[in-house]
Amino acid sequence: MFGIAPIGFAGERKAIALLVLAFYTALYSLMALLMANAPDHPELRAWWPCFASLAGCYGIGFFALGADWFWARWFAIGLGYSGLTLAGWGLFMQRAIEPMLLFYGITHGLVVLVLQGERLKAHFDAKPGWREKFHLDEAAATKVRHTVTRAAASLPTLIMLALAPRDNPAGLALLAVATLGLLGVLRLRTWGILALGSAGLGGLGFVLGAAPPSATQIIPGPLVHAAGLAASAFLLLSVVPFFRPMVRFLAQRR
């Protein structure tokens, strides 16, 4: 049997992902700056916290990937899935090829594509140091990978749900719980899984019951709601890898 050679150009593929993440960090930062300095348009100015937070989210992905943190590849791939989902929903709802949405989807899909392969896996999440620290085998590390990737895929949409102009503070609580859950998972804490599951259930209720964001052409309210359903699904799916072990543990405690 002939083995399949690992995909090469690991450094070049990492550089491409960094370029995309840097582009969206700069883009969202510029948009936040422009919104914050639009005093004659309060409906636009109200969006600057949303874009500033998106810039921070992509900036974290850029910095973590550049610093070779073990979870950086998972996080960046999650951001890529988020962009693919948002672009896919937008193109589906518009029933037309919108160039901006197409570019958004292609660039995010590129991040997902270039970060695949055993060589980049060995460079990030297959490093023995963090596995030894948390006493994880390959199966447990795979569970953490799926959970972090799916949780990260929900973050950009949760930021839009929480910080888009609306008089509903529940979105902020939802974003806070999901963020804390992701941090908990990275520290291998059970409460992180519970927080992600709670955020997923809460997200469904929030998206189905909340009013659309303030009328603006920046991000259409229906698109935010559709992407919100996908983000809630990502959060619920992030719990799946640990669901059976948690049920087994509770059963043994009885």
In this prediction the pTM is 0.89
Question: What are the sequence ranges of the domains in the chain?
Answer: 10-253
Which pLDDT band holds residue 211 (cuts at 50, 70, 90)? low
pLDDT of 249: 63
Encode burial over 20-29: b for 16+ CB neighbours within 10 A, e otherwise: bbbebbeebb
Alpha helix (H) ranges present in 10-98? 10-36, 42-45, 48-66, 72-94
Which residue, chain included where needed, has tokens 């309210």?
A: 221
Across 6-20, 54-68, 209-223, the highest mean pLDDT is recorded for 54-68
Please compute the mean of the pLDDT values over residues 214-233 and round it to a whole number.
72
Please compute the mean of the pLDDT values over residues 91-105 and round it to a whole number.
87
Sign of CA dihedral 203, 226, 211, 221: positive
- DSSP secondary structure code for residue 34 in this structure: H
Q: What are the tens digits of pLDDT across the range 129-162?
A: 888 888 888 888 889 999 999 999 999 999 988 8
pLDDT of 210: 61
| Mean pLDDT of the chain, nearest integer | 86
Residue 126 is which amino acid? Answer: A
Q: What are the tens digits of pLDDT across the range 183-199?
A: 999 988 889 999 999 99
222 or 21, higher pLDDT: 21
pLDDT of 52: 96
* Half-sphere exposure in the Cβ direction for 56 (13 Å, CA): 11
pLDDT of 58: 98
Q: What are the tens digits of pLDDT across the range 39-96?
A: 777 777 888 999 999 999 999 999 999 999 999 999 999 999 999 999 988 888 878 7
pLDDT of 1: 40
Encode burial over 36-57: b for 16+ CB neighbours within 10 A, e otherwise: eeeeeeeebbbbbbbbbbbbeb
